[in-house]
Structure 1
């Protein structure tokens, strides 16, 4: 049986002045990942200078259904107002890890 895991990279940019708010928000939502058969493989922060993202994350979920469950988790959805206040931009894309 083929590996059905989903590996994603996420770039996040904070609203100006909300860098700590972005980190706090991500602390909250990333805490839910393990409950959905997911793992945060890596989380890194930058200063955001020159248009770089403020935070970079790598995730692995056991499959698309696990990822969908995380994305639709009511606790995560309930934080969407906070997210809109502190996150200016997000890029999420699939990757492979060698």
Structure 2
């Protein structure tokens, strides 16, 4: 990872009783990463929580991903079944 890259860990909480819908939502949203210079490096699950390691070539790429109209439309389509996420910016030691 270069100093310009942004490394994130997303802790994604799936809605109780909506794990399948939440996983489908994540599949759709994560498929948008490449158009913003993002890469899904790892995707792990406990069943009700996903841990995702995501990298972006630039911070601007992350910001454009977050405001992507397609991502926002997917979120609206899933409504209350859409998971919530806590995103942490991390660095390697």
Q: Same fold (TM over 0.5)?
A: yes
Give the C-alpha shift of residue 88 in structure 1: 4.9
CA RMSD of aligned residues (A): 1.6
TM-score by length of 2: 0.88
5+ long unaligned stretches in structure 2: none
> Secondary structure, in 3 states, of the residue corresponding to 2:47?
coil
Displacement over 3 Å in runs of 4+:
none
User: 1:82 and 1:97, CA in 2 relative to 1: closer, same or farther beyond 3 A?
Assistant: farther
Match of 1:61 in 2: 56
> Secondary structure, in 3 states, of the residue corresponding to 1:79?
helix
Match of 2:17 in 1: 17
Pairs aligned (count): 92
5+ long unaligned stretches in structure 1: 49-53
User: 1:88 and 1:73, CA in 2 relative to 1: closer, same or farther beyond 3 A?
Assistant: closer
> Secondary structure, in 3 states, of the residue corresponding to 1:23?
helix
For residue 93 of structure 1, the aligned residue among 59, 72, 88 is 88
| Structure possessing the higher radius of gyration over alpha carbons | 1
Match of 1:79 in 2: 74
Q: Measure, in 2, the Cα distance between the counterparts of 1:11 and 1:41.
A: 14
Deviations 1:18-74 (A, max 9, x none): 0011100000000000111111010011133xxxxx111011001111111111111
